[in-house]
Amino acid sequence: MPVFASGKAFDGSLLGMESLQRRPEARSQIDASRPLPISNNPFRRMEHVMFETLLNGFVTLFVIIDPLGLAPLFLGLTAGLSMTARRRLALKASLIAFAILSVFGLVGLAVLQALGISLGAFRVAGGLFLFWIAFELVFEKRKTRKEKDAQTAMSEHEASEIAAVPLAIPLMAGPGAISAVILLSGDLPGVAGQAALLLVIAAVLLATYAMLAIANRFDRLIGQTGRAVITRLLGVLLAALAVQFVADGVGALVSQWHR
């Protein structure tokens, strides 16, 4: 075995330890190169929570607006109109709904605070309301109610105004969608959170507009049976999200009472 002039025998471990002792920056570079797990990295954990919140918000709002169930109603309301006129109405209704939901998303929490309503209490009430919507979706009661709302609105407004009523209100930006937006705004504080909230609303309404723009083709493609199956599956998903809202609200109220 080779021997150094100092009398130390050569081996890889000794050489490696001495080199690291002489170069502490190398040891720090090795440690820094290892990515921290999500549980120990606050930035990655925050990104993970933000992504999960945005995904839940998108799914909740998409299921509540229910573009699949809205498509046949849209075709019935716009019967006799050309494809271009239908797309123009769908775009106008989507823009109006975006404006309404954005306003409630940005100032809804301030209104609740002014009324003395805590976010936990609103989570419980909103979760129960969303669960009722999920119940209607699963048992095909929501479609019947929306048809009645549309007929009532059409009897009170001219056909040229259907983009605002009943398409934008209440079919797109109804009480359920408004409640969901306010609940989502509570999980997205700050300027970045508000921007993300507006992005979620825009994405859902863009998907709704796309669905209405091809409503005729899509309705023929999936048929009544396919639409009923998808609607029920989305209803079950919304029910689970609604229960989570209620659980979070109860937890917030309990922690508030114990302070």
pLDDT tens-place string over residues 16-28? 444 445 555 544 4
Q: What is the pLDDT of residue 203?
A: 97
pLDDT one-digit tens code per residue, 245-255: 999 999 999 99
Quick check: 251 and 119 in contact, CB under 8 A?
no
Using DSSP, state whether 9 is helix, strand or coil. Answer: strand
CA-wise closest residue to 171 among 54, 79, 57, 72: 72
Residue 14 reports pLDDT greater than 50: no
Read off the pLDDT of residues 148-189 as tens digits, 9 standing for 90 and up: 665 555 544 455 578 898 889 988 999 899 999 999 998 888
In this prediction, residue 15 has a pLDDT band, given cuts at 50, 70 and 90, of very low
Tens of pLDDT, residue by residue over 215-244, are 888 878 888 788 788 888 988 999 998 999
Rounded to whole angstroms, the Cα distance separating 85 from 79 reads: 11
Gap between the Cα atoms of 154 and 183, Å rounded: 31
Q: Residue 90's Cα: distance from chain center in Å?
A: 21
Using alpha carbons, select from 201, 256, 218, 223 the residue that is nearest to residue 61.
Answer: 201
Which residues neighbour 230 within 8 Å (Cβ) at sequence distance 6 or greater? 68, 222
Give the bridge partners for 9, in sequence order.
Answer: 3
60-95: b or e for each residue (b if 16 or more CB lie within 10 Å)?
bbbbbbbbbbbbbbbbebbeeeeeeebbebbebbbe
* Mean pLDDT of all residues in 83-98: 94
- pLDDT tens digits along 101-138: 999 999 999 999 899 999 899 999 999 999 998 888 88
Which class for 164: exposed (0-12), middle (13-18), buried (19 or more C-beta within 10 A)? middle
Q: Determine contact, residues 93/172, Cβ cutoff 8 Å.
A: yes
Residues in the chain: 259
